[in-house]
Amino acid sequence: MNKLILFGMVVLSVLAFSGYKVWAQLREENKNVNTENAKILIAYYSYSGNTKEVAEAIHEKTGGDLFEIKTEGSYPDEYRPMTQQAKKEIQDGYRPKLTTSVADISKYDIVFVGSPNWWGTITPQVSSFLESYDLSGKTVIPFITHGGGGVQNTVTDMTAQCKGCNVSKDGWVGYGSRTLGISGWLEDLGFKK
């Protein structure tokens, strides 16, 4: 092989490898949250059970306190009217009154916040939670379940509604009740095996 081509290939390989190393290092730095002696709360809203399953899988791995967000109000049994009511609530910025409460939010360092994706955003119940509690200065780790649309605006809206919080960019976004991969995701974030 032409020596010049060989030299070029070696240089390119070295550049690619060092670029990857920097990227991997930055990724690790950004991802890790301080889990040392951290007090953990896992708060979630779940309408049909998927987000609850994910919350329980997180809890199994991290320990801490599990908290189900419940509110006043109800939805029709039929799917379409239910989704239409939810759509209107989101458009109107409706914030249902919470009917479950966290005893002492100030003691938590890390708060996982779980929501289904509803019309591309978080549910009104989760918005009520975010606006009712002072989570400023805490690390907030989103976990989102969806029906095929993925993350859409859920995490950006959660970040906007969680005033002064450090919302992790490396939350969980999973289809339905999928829990496969949760252990690895939590380990990447710095939670012990």
* Cβ-based burial of 180 (10 A; exposed 0-12, middle 13-18, buried ≥19): exposed
The DSSP annotation for 93-142 comes to T--PPBSS--S-GGG-SEEEEEEE-BTTB--HHHHHHHHHS--TTSEEEE
Find the Cα–Cα–Cα–Cα dihedral 98, 103, 104, 107, rounded to 10°: -110
Q: How far is the CB of 112 from ligand FMN (least distance, A)?
A: 14
Q: How far is the CB of 1 from ligand FMN (least distance, A)?
A: 51
Contact residues for ligand FMN (CB under 6 A)? 46-52, 83, 86, 116-120, 145-149, 176
DSSP annotation of 167:
E
The strand ranges marked E within the chain are 40-44, 65-68, 110-116, 139-146, 166-167, 172-175
Q: How far is the CB of 154 from ligand FMN (least distance, A)?
A: 9
Taking the least distance from each CB to ligand FMN, the nearer of 33 and 55 is: 55
For tokens 């959660």, name the residue: 158
Q: How far is the CB of 188 from ligand FMN (least distance, A)?
A: 22
Taking the least distance from each CB to ligand FMN, the nearer of 63 and 147 is: 147
Taking the least distance from each CB to ligand FMN, the nearer of 139 and 145 is: 145
Q: How far is CA 7 from CA 17, 115, 185, in A?
A: 15, 53, 39
* Cβ-based burial of 7 (10 A; exposed 0-12, middle 13-18, buried ≥19): exposed
Q: How far is the CB of 10 from ligand FMN (least distance, A)?
A: 46
Nearest-CB residue to ligand FMN? 149
Q: How far is the CB of 94 from ligand FMN (least distance, A)?
A: 13
